[in-house]
């Protein structure tokens, strides 16, 4: 099976809210506790952040409007119940929560990739939130909405993208400040172009941190190719 099967069908209706979709594709989940699983990705257009290491800037503007019904119909062709809603920042679109609930109602196992810069209080409780707390190296540290941590549960995950040793030390401090490992699984992910994963692994082991080292599997499989 081709690792990335894209869908080009876009229709519009006027009977329900629309979302602007940058792309829908079928690939291997490269991150989170679902790593390695065949997954449908629904990438929403738009993001209020401009992280220094962003690899999806193409999703800032381009996209086609689709209703929730259109999206459900589109993804029904794929042979998996694993769905990831991503961006950009998917919660920047007001109808994202409607999409998340509908996907859950339809029996999909849904994960949401969010920056944590937008309120997650109304995300359907069946959805696994993967919330990326922005480190100083992202240049978007000021956008962190730490109030969102109150809405993180044991099934969710908090991720720190580590760009250098200061990012690592900052992440350790925030992990301790908010007692994150008692709330959910914590992911430390090396920024692909900046940190050697072996170095980060050694730091974690030296400090005996109860975190998951997360490399971006899809980048090792296909490199920085959009839509994979």
Short-list 164, 138, 160, CA closest to 149: 160
Dihedral class, residue 159 (left if φ above 0, else alpha if ψ from -120 to 50, else beta): beta
pLDDT tens digits, one per residue of 105-147: 999 999 999 999 999 999 999 999 999 999 999 999 999 999 9
> Is 7 strand, coil or helix?
coil
**Rounded to an integer, what is the distance from CA 185 to the centroid of its chain?**
15
Topology given in CATH for the domain delimited by 5-222: TIM Barrel (3.20.20)
Could you read off the pLDDT of 28-75 as tens digits, one per residue? 999 999 999 999 999 999 999 999 999 899 999 989 999 999 999 999
Q: Average pLDDT over the chain, rounded to whole?
A: 92
Structure token digits, residue 217: 């599997």
For 196-223, the pLDDT digits (tens) are 999 999 999 999 999 999 998 988 888 7
């Amino acid at each position: 099976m081709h690792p990335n099967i894209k869908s080009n069908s876009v229709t519009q209706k006027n009977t329900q809210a629309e979302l602007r979709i940058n792309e829908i594709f079928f690939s291997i989940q490269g991150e989170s506790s679902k790593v390695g699983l065949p997954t449908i990705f629904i990438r929403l257009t738009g993001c209020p952040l401009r992280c220094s290491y962003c690899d999806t800037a193409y999703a800032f503007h381009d996209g086609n409007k689709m209703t929730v019904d259109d999206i459900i119909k589109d993804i029904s062709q794929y042979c998996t119940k694993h769905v990831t809603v991503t961006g950009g920042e998917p919660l920047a679109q007001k109808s994202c929560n409607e999409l998340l609930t509908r996907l859950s109602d339809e029996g999909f196992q849904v994960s949401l990739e969010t920056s944590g810069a937008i309120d997650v209080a109304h995300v359907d409780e069946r959805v696994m939130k993967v919330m990326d707390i922005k480190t100083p190296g992202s240049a978007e540290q000021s956008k962190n909405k730490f109030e969102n941590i109150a809405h993180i549960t044991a099934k969710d995950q908090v991720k720190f993208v580590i760009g250098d040793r200061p990012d690592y030390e900052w992440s350790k401090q925030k992990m301790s400040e908010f007692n994150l490992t008692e709330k959910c699984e914590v992911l430390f992910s090396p920024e692909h172009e900046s940190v050697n994963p072996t170095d980060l692994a050694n730091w974690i082991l030296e400090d005996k941190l109860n975190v998951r080292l997360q490399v971006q599997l899809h980048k090792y499989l296909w490199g920085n190719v959009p839509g994979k």
